[in-house]
Amino acid sequence: MKPSAVEKWAWVLIYSGLLLLSLGVFVLQLGGAWGWALVVPGVLLALGGALLIYLRSRMDDQH
C-alpha cells in the first residue's frame, strides 16, 4: 500500500471514529442505550487510525 493511501485512511478512520464517539456520548447523555453502539466502534476506528499513523511512520517513502 502506498504511504499516501495509508495517510489518507488513517485520517479518515480518526475523524470518523471521533465523530461516532462524540455522537455516542450525546446519545448516552440523553439516556439512549444506543449510545454504546456508537461509542465502541468510534473508539475502535480512532485507535485503528492511530495505528495506521504509527505504521506510516515506519514505512519507507520510496514506495
Q: Tell me: the pLDDT tens digits for 6-60?
A: 999 999 999 999 999 999 999 999 988 899 999 999 999 999 999 999 999 999 8
pLDDT recorded at residue 19:
98
Specify the residue for cell string 450525546.
26
In a domain, 36, yes or no: yes
Task: Sort 60 into a burial class: Cβ within 10 Å, 0-12 / 13-18 / 19+.
Answer: exposed
Inside any domain, residue 29: yes
Note down the domain range covering 25.
3-57
What number of H helices and E strands is found in the chain?
2, 0
Distance CA 37, CA 62 (A): 40
Nearest to 62 by CA among 2, 9, 8, 11: 2
How many independent structural domains does the chain possess? 1
- pTM for the predicted model, two decimal places: 0.87
